Amino acid sequence: MRPLKRFRSFNILATLYFNFKMLKFKQALKLPFIFNHKIRFENISGKIILKNKKISRGIVKIGARGSDMFPHSATVIDLKGTVVIDGNLDIGHGCLIRVDKKGVLSFGNNVTVGAQSKIFCVNKIVFKNQIDISWECQVFDTNFHYLRNRIDNSIEEMIGEIEIGSYNWLGNRITVMKNTKTPKNFTVASNSLCNKSYLNLPSFSIIGGYPAKLIGSNKERVFEKLEGFSK
């Protein structure tokens, strides 16, 4: 984003309000949270924990990424539970982040959440380090409702946990449901449904489909920019 355009998109009121509302005064002065474009705070009665002692301005950016693709979207924050952040975090334009009272949503270092994505945390969602989530993804640790087995009358558990391993890349329009766990160095293809543990698969695997299954191996997501490389 160009400097002038970045300045115009800067939401100073949301930035000041959130930092001084949610953080200790000395932390808030450094403005670690920077908000851009239209922001709607549904509820911010929860708690923010910044684990990294080196707090600086803009380590958490919210609402800027993807604004050219989805220019008319508002970013919605509904925080009743706890959010733990341990490094740089970039949440895209038009995202919905919702954490219920008992929910704990954790981000490691260098996590990017693409525009128009949704994260609903009722129980526990963990994103480890160096994770790139593309646009229009959704991550839910709950089914939002109960299901009854008509044969034995048992009720399926409605909530679970999610853990996304370090160096993971999630393509666009992926749905991640409760009980999903992925290993380190892992790729999920676009338009897939993840709904179980994939820890039995080796690193550098690719899964895809609805529901997702192994479709490739020995593939690595390149996070750094490769100058002059094209095919």
Question: What span, in angstroms and rounded, lies between the C-alpha atoms of 115 and 64?
Answer: 9
- Residue 224 within a domain: no
What is the distance between the terminal CA atoms of the chain, rounded to a whole angstrom? 26
DSSP notation for 27-72: HHHT--EEEBS-EEEEEE-SEEEE--S---TTSEEES-TTTTTSTT
- Residue 19 within a domain: no
Residue 110, judged by CB atoms within 10 A of its CB (0-12, 13-18, 19+), counts as middle
CATH number of the structural domain spanning residue 139: 2.160.10.10
pLDDT digits (tens, 9 = 90+) for 42-82: 999 999 999 988 899 999 999 999 988 888 889 999 999 99
Question: What span, in angstroms and rounded, lies between the C-alpha atoms of 128 and 220?
Answer: 17
pTM comes to 0.91
- Residue 116 within a domain: yes
pLDDT tops 60 at residue 227: no
Mean pLDDT value across the chain: 92
Residue 69, judged by CB atoms within 10 A of its CB (0-12, 13-18, 19+), counts as middle
pLDDT digits (tens, 9 = 90+) for 134-158: 999 999 999 988 888 888 888 888 8
pLDDT confidence tier of residue 225, bands split at 50, 70 and 90: low
Which residue range forms the structural domain that includes residue 80? 39-216
What is the number of residues in the chain? 231
- Residue 135 within a domain: yes
Helix (H, G, I), strand (E, B) or coil at 156: coil
Q: Into how many domains does the chain fold?
A: 1
pLDDT tops 70 at residue 3: no
pLDDT digits (tens, 9 = 90+) for 205-223: 999 999 999 999 998 877 6
pLDDT digits (tens, 9 = 90+) for 125-134: 999 999 999 9
Whole-number percent of the chain with pLDDT over 90: 80
